[in-house]
Structure formats: structure tokens, C-alpha cells
Amino acid sequence: MAATSVADEIFKEFKEHSISEFFRKNSQMLGYAGKVRSLTTIIHEYVTNGLDACEEAGILPDLNVELKEIGENKYSIKVSDNGPGIPQTHVGKALASVLSGTKFHRYMQQRGQQGIGAAGCTLFAKITTGKPIHVRSSTGKQAFECDITIDIKSNKPLLTNVLKIDADFRGVEITGEFGEVKYEQSDHGVLEYLRRTALSNPHCSIRLLAPDGQESIFPRSAAEMPKRPRQIKPHPLGINTNDLVEFAHKSTVSRKVSSFMIDTFSRVTQNKIDELRTAAPDVNFDKNPAELTWDEAEKIVKAIKQIKWIAPDLDSMSTIGEKQIEAAIKNILSPTFLSVVERKPRVFRGGIPFVVEAGIAYGGSAGKSSGQFVEGNILRFGNKVPLLFDSSVCAITEAVKNIDWKRYAIQKFDEEPVSVMVNVSSVYIPYSGVGKQAISQEDEIIEEIKLAVQEAGRNLQRYLHGMKSRSIQETRYKTIMRYVDQLSADLSEITGEKKEAIEVKLKALIEGKYKKLFEAPPALDESDDKGVQKVDSESDD
């Protein structure tokens, strides 16, 4: 009896909380940890939303970011885009309702994917300054402005001061006051974030007005929109038993397991169903999918892994592209060597396809300056978005750091002028946290990153070995040439010929022996006026 009364007393405190209340107490999980990082996170969320909206509408993005210091660790932030705008009926949920949005439920590659980012900014403004954000939006036909904040207990938006306006613009402009933030020109600051964003999105124009009044403009360098990814079906490889059961029990159209699988997953044809029937003879593929049991789903998943499948279609994803990566690395680092690799699509858990692109730069400004020394540097991107934080827990870092770099003529990665750029593109990138700054260390993704970097590394190995051989030859050449004068004089005394004539013949003989030293590098990229040496990538297929 006493135990029951104690339990009743304890459970008087049992309450249900909203997701907004959770993130109010755990804002660091959204990326708001540290003043510099918090400011970069705010810009990141608004910029990625603007890029996604413009690309989905087929509009070349023009982004404008303005920062103004209004107090100690307190800034006014304004971010605008020229996208399709947000309708008034959806603006509240889009900007002030956590886990609401157009992205999470679709198998379609976009930068944002959780429905947290912009709402998280509204929440952060409220808990650091107590003020709403101000929004101006125009769809080209209708325009309005309003103030928006979030009701933390109910996770619902609160709109005030809603006014229809006459506007000659199209897009969204968001202005807010944020505390506990700081602007710095560092490797983790807003300027570096926007610089890398411009490099991985050459079709975008970005303007930054810093708190000190300094204006930075990153002009559009490509007049064409990137290939728009299309919505896809999950690939059968990578799905687990729970995935299959969930999909099957939610199917309302298909009457058979066989037709359900053809309708639900990509690359599944009637021929593949016949192969699955053979590999899983105990499963009735003619039964209603709603009646599929866990045991049957387990057998189907096992059978899926036993047969061969066509890889996911690359058209479902939008990568940076080899040419754009080359241009980006050349513009940032002006390297003496560059190798870029784009892998074929692969699949990880849930049937999600992904593509890895990698580039290695050596020499020039490659690497990262650390005092008087230069060390290896890793440039990380997820769906063309720079990842500046949480590098130690990222799959990209894990893959690059665990490569045996000595095999590629790099004795110590941390002590060489080398930069490795990696971009992972996917319908759904498994970030390690809702702050979206590190990719979860999934085995399939780590392995694919390693294969891409190693493929580029083989080209680096050939280049460095060639440079080492050339250096040895140059040393020998210079050593021999030091003795030409004395040797010519000695031979002149012996033969009676003029010293000058003998010297000319000796030099011609030596230069003929080492003629390769005077030839241009065979793999010189002629399209590059900076003399970047580029070797065609190999394929491991």
C-alpha cells in the first residue's frame, strides 16, 4: 500500500512536453553552442532554405546577408532571397513550428531535411532576446509582412502585425535580433561559411555586409541551374526488416506483396520478383502486403542481399560535379597538383542512395597554416553545404584520417601541404546531430569515401613519385655541371682543342642525357593558366 502511494506521488510530476520545450533546454543540439558557432548556424539555416527554395522553383539564387552589432554579443541579422516566397497560410509553420516543412517526408535531395532549422532560429531569438522575427514575403502575386514567434509549450507559431504590402520583389526577407552570438573572421565564422557555400554552389550570388561595414560579394560564376534532383523511391538494398514491414502495412493500393514491392521500391521488376521467389521460397508473394509478417519480411530482406541489383539512378541526386570541384579548389588553393573523383551511386540503410565526390590538392596554398607550419586539411561538404564544426565525429574525417597515406607518398598527412575536399550527396544524409555539421559514421558511407579518396590518392602518388624522381635527376644534373668547366680545361690540355668548344660539346651531351628535365610535365592541364597538374582518374570497376 505504501509503495503504491509513493508511486502515485512520484507520477504526479508526470507531464508531456512539446518538442520546442525540449530544444529550448537543449539548444546546443541545434548547433547553438558557442557564440561564433551560433551565429554561423543561424546564417546556415536561412541560407540553405533560400538555396533549396530557389532551386526547386528553377530560380538562380541571389542571397543577401546583413549583420549589425546592436549590443554586447547581440546582433541584428537580415537574410533575404529571390525565391518563390512563402504563402501567408504556411509562413507560421514554415518558420516557427519545429518538425514542420516540405522536406522530411520526401525522398528528394535537398539541403534541409528535418523541418527544424528556420523554426530553431525563431526559437533561439525568443530565448536570447525575447523578440519575434520579422518576415516580408512575396510570391510575385501577393505580398505581406508580419512578426512571428513560437509558443514553446504548444510548438505552435504566433503571428502578429500581419499586413498586406505592395512589393516589387519576390522572395523572403527575414530580420531578427539574436543574443549570445558573435561575428569573427575565422575558419568557423560566417564569412568562411558563405565563401565555401559560394564555391560549392557556383550558380548562386551571395552578398555579405559585415558588422564593421565591410562588404563581401561572391558573384555567380555559372549561369545555369544545377540539375534538379527528382523525387525517388527507396532502393531495396539497404532496407531492413522494420522498413519493409512499415512500407507493406501502409500500402493501400497494392493487393499483392509482389506488386507492392514493384510500386514501392526502385529497380524492382517482375524478373527481380521471380528471383526473390526463388531465393525466398517460403514467402507467399501473392498475399496482401498488409498481412506480411516479420518473419516473412526478414526472409525477403535476406533474399534481397543474395541477388544482384542495378545501382540507384544518379539522376535522383544533384552533385557539385567534377568541373565545378576543380574550379573551386583552384580558386581557393591554386595547387600544383589536383585530382578529382566522382563515384557511382551507392546505398546505405533504409534503401537511401548516396554519391561521394572527392578532390585532392597538393602544393600552392593547399593545407592549413598553423604558425610556421602547414598541415593537411579536410574540406567537408554535405549536399553542397559546408560542414565547419564537429569534424572529429564526422564520417568524412574518420575516412580520410584512417587512410594509409604513406601508400600515396604522403609520409604524415598532418605535416604536408595537402587538402582533401569531400562532398556527400544524398536524398537523406544521416547527420550525427540535428545541428547538421557532421555526417554519421555509417560503415557504407565511410567505405565509399575512402575508396573515392584512395582513387584520387593514386594519382597523387604518381605525381609525387614523378616529382621525387625529377628532384633526384636535377641534383645529379647540377652536380655534373659543376665539373664541366674543370673537365673542359683538362681535356683541352690533353687534346689541344679549344676549351670553349669542348665545354659546348660536354654540355650538349649532359643535357641530352637529362633532356626530360627541360620538357613540360606530360599531364599538364592546358585549360588552366595556373599550371595545375591533373591526372585522369582511374576506375575501380
DSSP 258-300: HHHHHHHSTT--HHHHHHHHHH-TTS-TTS-GGG--HHHHHHH
Q: Which CATH class is domain 314-457?
A: alpha beta
pTM over 0.75: no
Q: Which three cell numbers mark 501? A: 668548344
Predicted pLDDT of residue 223: 78
pLDDT along the chain (541 residues), means of 10: 61 58 62 87 92 89 96 95 92 76 46 63 90 93 91 83 90 95 90 88 92 92 76 79 89 86 89 93 92 93 89 73 80 85 82 86 83 80 89 93 92 89 88 82 93 93 75 69 80 83 80 64 42 39 37
Closest CA to 424 of 369, 343, 360: 343
What is the C-alpha separation between 101 and 149, in angstroms, rounded? 17
Per DSSP, the chain holds a count of helices (H) and strands (E) of 15, 17
Predicted pLDDT of residue 11: 60
Predicted pLDDT of residue 431: 86
65, containing H or E segment: strand 62-71
Confirm or reject CATH 3.40.50.720 for domain 19-218, answering yes or no. no
Domain boundaries, the chain: 19-218, 241-304, 314-457, 462-534
Closest CA to 140 of 85, 63, 59: 85
Tell me the CA end-to-end span of the chain in Å, nearest whole number: 71
Predicted pLDDT of residue 157: 86
